[in-house]
Amino acid sequence: MARRPHDHYVVLARGDAARAAETLGQATGADRVVGVSCDLGSLADVNRAAGMVTAGVDAGRLPPLGGFLGNAGVVFLTTDTRTADGYEATFAINVLAHQLLIRLLMPRFVAPAWVVLTTSDSHFGQFRYTLGATPPPRWAAPAELATPRHGGPQAAGRAYATSKLGTIYLTHALARRLPPGVGAHSYNPALVAGTDFFRAAPQPLRAVMQGFFRLQLALGRGMTAERAGRRLAETILAGMPGPSGGYVDRGRAVPSSPESYDEGREEELWREGARLCG
């Protein structure tokens, strides 16, 4: 994406964002890439990062926002991992932090613009999507999902699938609220190998999961990180297919799970998510 001439990009990263932006600029020849550090595990840091972006737009150092790609996601081995705010980390990072960040940036979007949030086909909760590696989602009140609780790998996998269902609910709620000409889509990259996604796991389990991912890659059920990233970028640059609020599976607009269409849950998430984010 950064190789496109005349575009300006902001890289939000938990670590050394300035270095990440510099590396991206050197690799692509882009000279308008800005880094802003942002730890999605801290709502205060999300507020700070969003404030830096909006201040840059208001001062003319950055152009009005034309797009937002939320590509961050985590999975843990337990459901008692806490963020800086005391929330269950999977739901807080994958859903609440993105909701807060986009809400704070919304007034700076200028049409035509887009918001894309990466989700997962694990939200279907069916064997043909997960091969039994992830339990099906189990939705509950947002305050309950944000509460740390005792649970091992099985519960943690369910929390991940549930958070990805929440990402689709958030996308639908956003589509009803974004300014005209600004669309929202959820995007499923499917199984992606080679991302160190299970870095929180002990080495033996991490090796098993990485082996499982490589096997699926060999069987044609997944993609390398490079290929998946290219597919995502090409889809965005070509114009997201389907109407705002839609679900895009590796570049194709398709229906998400029947459970993912629930306006009552979507509005509850929007309302209660705002309260949880302060």
- pLDDT at position 224: 87
Task: Confirm if 179 and 249 have CB atoms less than 8 A apart.
Answer: no
Task: Confirm if 32 and 7 have CB atoms less than 8 A apart.
Answer: yes
Show the domains of the chain with their CATH numbers: 71-276 (3.40.50.720)
Which neighbouring-strand residues pair with 117? 70, 186
- pLDDT at position 204: 76
Burial 22-39 (b: 16+ CB within 10 A, else e): eebbeeeebeebbbbbbb
- The pair of structure tokens assigned to 25 is 């600029």
- pLDDT at position 215: 73
Q: Before 153, cis peptide (omega within 30)?
A: no
| Averaged pLDDT in 10-residue chunks for the chain of 278 residues | 88 91 93 95 98 97 95 92 97 98 96 97 88 90 98 94 98 96 96 73 73 72 87 96 97 97 98 97
- pLDDT at position 232: 96
Closest CA to 137 of 149, 124, 148: 124
- pLDDT at position 100: 98
The pTM of this model reads 0.93
- pLDDT at position 121: 93
- pLDDT at position 133: 77
- 106-109 long-range Cβ contacts below 8 angstroms, 24+ apart: 106/177, 106/178, 106/179, 107/54, 108/53, 108/54, 108/57, 108/58, 108/64, 108/65, 109/64, 109/65, 109/66, 109/68, 109/178, 109/179, 109/182
- pLDDT at position 123: 95
